[in-house]
Amino acid sequence: MTRAISLHDVSKVYYASDARVVDRLSLDIAPGEFLVLLGPSGCGKSTVLRMIAGLEQITDGRLLLDGEYANDLPPSGRDIAMVFQNFALYPTMTGRDNIGFPLRIEAPSTDPSPRVDATARMLGIEDLLDRYPGQLSGGERQRVAMGRAIARHPSAFLMDEPLSNLDAKLRNRLRAEIASLTRKLGVTTVYVTHDQSEAMSLGDRVAVLRGGVLQQVDTPRSVYALPRNVFVAAFIGTPRINLLRGLVRAPLDGAMTINLGKQALRLPEPLSLDHKLLRVQQGREVIVGLRSEAVRIGRLAEARPGETHITGLVEHVEFQGHEVLVHFNTGSRPAVVPDLEAARPQARPVRRRRRETRMLDRLRARAGSLRAGPVVALDEPAEQPPAVASPDGRQPGDLVVRTTPDFDLRYGMHVPLLVDVAHLFVFDQHGERICPAPDRLPDLDE
């Protein structure tokens, strides 16, 4: 039996420090679904998991398990198993005793050996059952910890960064094992991680959090291809998306361009619907997002339909074996995304307002909480250190391009680049995506 989990406007506040760790989170997890909670360390992911498990009290909102109110249900009554980051094994018990311990607690008169043996066969750890945790490697301990959760036959698994303490090779192997195991068991799983590679490879859906606020929840493919805002776009993807400050120019008698400083992206005609909608941004500063695969090395004569031409100066070349990441200087100014790695955005100062505007204040506060503060800053903070220039005075690269090892590129070379504007992202000054246009455009008749 698996179970549905629903969170409705759930918040968590620690009143001692007046910290709102989770802010009005609403999320529906279908039975048998594998959902990944993704975000920077400290953004509230583990707190959400602990509230589902009953280890943290919910300040506001409702938790529903199979449609039934579960805020006050004790952890023992939720039929949920949790796998922790630090294994949490009893050091004086063997692997067999660690796996069978919760079974003996639930049914003291029943012999847990058959279920322990079946779980061990499933995980391939039969030869580890008579060893103590101190005699096991990190990966073996994590398998025993997972076996302890699986042996209970719970209706849901909660996994709190279970692979973060392991080395990269073992992490990749266990990641594949977790994906195969959860598919076989068909149990609802909520998995917490700050590693976007884990999130994209494991989850049926990915929920991105920032500052305790849900930014976007969708399939891995959709979150990558259509990020809701600039934070999601920058957090997901390797290498990180190129974010450049641009200015929209849309003359009535000429081609539409987005100026990037010393160069401009000319939008090919006839304009697509998404690019036509950019006309309302005429004269406004925007953030342009380009994935590394949206730019390729090539001359103007080699341009395909929908590609526009710019040039770049090679600043650095990263050889990855099967591919090469080239850092170019195009004369553009990168957009600053504050708090991209920080857990929580900087708090805004609270201003007192007149009593008559109390309702308007609440609406503004609601809108602000949905963004968890400003997502992007087009004006760099004064305390930010200036970018370090190269020895000859040039600024560091602003555009990273993924290419093949066939190109012999060296520092200082001028290289022609072709940009596929069909894969162009444009975000407004608040960091919200405006191109490609959101699924639902505002209806002027409403």
Give the number of other Cβ atoms within 10 Å of residue 330's Cβ. Answer: 20
Helix (H, G, I), strand (E, B) or coil at 293: helix
Nearest to 51 by CA among 61, 41, 43, 42: 61
Nearest to 63 by CA among 35, 34, 72: 72
Q: How far is CA 292 from CA 199, 240, 320, 419, 423, in A?
A: 20, 8, 14, 10, 10
Q: Which residue intervals of the chain bear CATH 2.40.50.140?
A: 237-338+374-380+394-435
CB-based burial of residue 271 (10 Å sphere; 0-12 exposed, 13-18 middle, 19+ buried)? middle
80 band by pLDDT with thresholds 50, 70 and 90: very high
Residue recorded with tokens 């555009």:
399
pLDDT at 364 over 90: no
Share of the chain above pLDDT 70, in %: 85
CB 397 within 8 A of CB 329: yes
Six token digits for residue 115: 């279920």
Q: Which residue intervals of the chain bear CATH 3.40.50.300?
A: 5-230
396 band by pLDDT with thresholds 50, 70 and 90: low
Output the CATH code of domain 237-338+374-380+394-435: 2.40.50.140
Distance of alpha carbon 360 from alpha carbon 367, whole angstroms: 11
Q: Which residues contact 298 (CB under 8 A, 6 or more apart)?
A: 416, 417, 418
167 band by pLDDT with thresholds 50, 70 and 90: confident
State whether CATH 3.40.50.300 applies to domain 5-230: yes
pLDDT tens sequence across 249-273: 988 888 899 999 889 999 988 888 8
pLDDT tens sequence across 198-235: 999 999 999 999 999 999 999 999 999 999 999 999 99
Omega into 442 within 30° of 0, i.e. cis? no
pLDDT tens sequence across 369-381: 444 555 555 544 4
Torsions phi, psi for 193 (to 5 deg): -160, 160
49 band by pLDDT with thresholds 50, 70 and 90: very high
338 band by pLDDT with thresholds 50, 70 and 90: low
Residue scoring higher pLDDT (351 or 176): 176
* Amino acid sitting at position 102: P
| Ranges of H-type helices in 321-399 | 358-371
CB 241 within 8 A of CB 234: yes
Write down the pLDDT at residue 344.
55
